[in-house]
Amino acid sequence: MHNRDTLYINGKWVSPSGRNRIDVINASTEEVMGRIPEGDENDANAAVAAARAAFDAWSTTAPATRGEYLRKIQEGLKARSEELARTIAGEVGMPLKLSAQIQVGSPIANFGYYAKLAGEFQWEETTGNSRVVREPVGVVACITPWNYPLHQITAKVAAAMAAGCTVVLKPSEVAPLNAFILAEIIDAAGVPPGVFNLVSGIGPVVGEALVRHPDVDMVSFTGSTRAGKRISEVASATVKRVALELGGKSASVILDDADLPTAVKGTINACFLNSGQTCSAHTRMLVPDSRYEEAAKIAVEIAKNFTIGDPFGGAAKLGPLISEAQRERVRGYIRKGIAEGAELLCGGPDAPADLPKGYYVQPTVFGRVKPDSTIAQEEIFGPVLSIITYRDEDEAVKIANGTPYGLAGGVWAGSDERAQQVARRLRTGQVDINGGSFNLFAPFGGYKHSGHGREMGPYGMEEFLEYKSMQFQPNSAGLSGKAPY
């Protein structure tokens, strides 16, 4: 049992303002695996005050020195990687082997990357008679989700700290235990008090208090589009910067000359990862009408090989969903797909017969899905694939672009060149070409209702920086007076 009764504010573990606690449920056993404090507005205010007081010193600390702290945090994550992998496998349900590789491996890489980037980044440049400098935006509120909890935390926190910002983290109350381990690691690394603060609680209380706080300069949020709209609305009152990474309904476009078995397998892998609880999951598979029967047969064969079960058992490819509420939500979408006339090729809304405990959902494939149907338009966040047919390339692009979202996608073709031509027509933040693998250091973010702003790589750190231009008299301080155009 992981019981936490304190919050991390101003370099100390302190008692929360209130006495309420939040149970953390193991996704595969449905049992309580830990408890955390339910913070309130007073706790959020204390954390913001600490971050504000620490900002001047941290923002003027040499970037290379900030990088040294990040390196120490990276080493701390490595030392506790097995503990973190088991914790997240319990919280989220991702099989342990994958949890170690993805849920913990990427945060370790992130801290190492930003440790290096802090010392190498070009913080200023000259253009004409101006010195242009990059400076940290200020106090940042990081509000993070439950599906890749530590990864999403580090994508924000490591980049913000490298940039010279101070941080208040509000992790998801559904999968928060990993954040407390990170706070212990940050404390052990000797990071100055107030640079990093952790306040657990629920979004409508702690999250809203941070978003509307006048001393918070920026909010970085990952979660639902509905919550992102609310954050934008509340943040507008204080004209603070907002970065949003929201929902997705990504299309995998399989062109007529693609290697069909490879493309279908790659699409299903991208759809079912983390039991479909991935914002960039390729949940719509677009195939030429002439190849539908073949594609559907392959899809069913592959989907049936996705064994579901205990994330700690070693054999399962899919674990449970995060919670009972999420399981019922996904089952509701499956029933909706059946009601709207899509072909149920495999899976369905019923619980797996051999898994009476745990929030499990059968891997499900629908065929002949209409592009404007509910399951083709709304984010399901479960292991559910919709196969949609098209007549020609133009119609495929129209269907792919025909949702409110634009986070990710894929194109499969006989050549990378042809795939890239179609990819350039997709209104989405990233596109995998013939199964191209995820790049941890390329910009991640979306178009349209998938949000704005980017995470990962130098692009992620730049989100937390402001521009300042200082104009000099021509030829003063070695600066040219020539116009830059």
Q: How far apart are CA 40 and CA 17, in angstroms?
A: 7
Give me 376's structure tokens: 């083709």
Length of the chain measured in residues: 485
Q: How far apart are CA 267 and CA 265, in angstroms?
A: 5
Strands 409-412 and 250-254: parallel
Rounded to 5°, the CA angle 279-284-290 comes to 165
Q: How far apart are CA 354 and CA 221, in angstroms?
A: 38
User: What DSSP letter does each residue of 296-342 carry, written as one string?
Assistant: HHHHHHHHHT--B--TTSSS-SB---S-HHHHHHHHHHHHHHHHTT-
422 neighbors 413 (Cβ within 8 angstroms): yes
Q: How far apart are CA 351 and CA 362, in angstroms?
A: 7
User: DSSP secondary-structure letter at 255?
Assistant: -
Element (H, E) at 448: strand 447-448
Give me 349's structure tokens: 């809304």
The sign one gets for the Cα dihedral 256, 261, 267, 271 is positive
Q: How far apart are CA 459 and CA 452, in angstroms?
A: 12
Strands 465-471 and 130-136: antiparallel
Active site residues: 245, 279
Q: How far apart are CA 274 and CA 283, in angstroms?
A: 13
201, 178, 154, 145: which is closest to 326 by C-alpha? 145
Sheet with 2-3, side-by-side order of all strands: 2-3, 32-37, 21-25
Phi, psi of 95 (to 5 degrees): -50, 145
Phi, psi of 432 (to 5 degrees): -85, 125
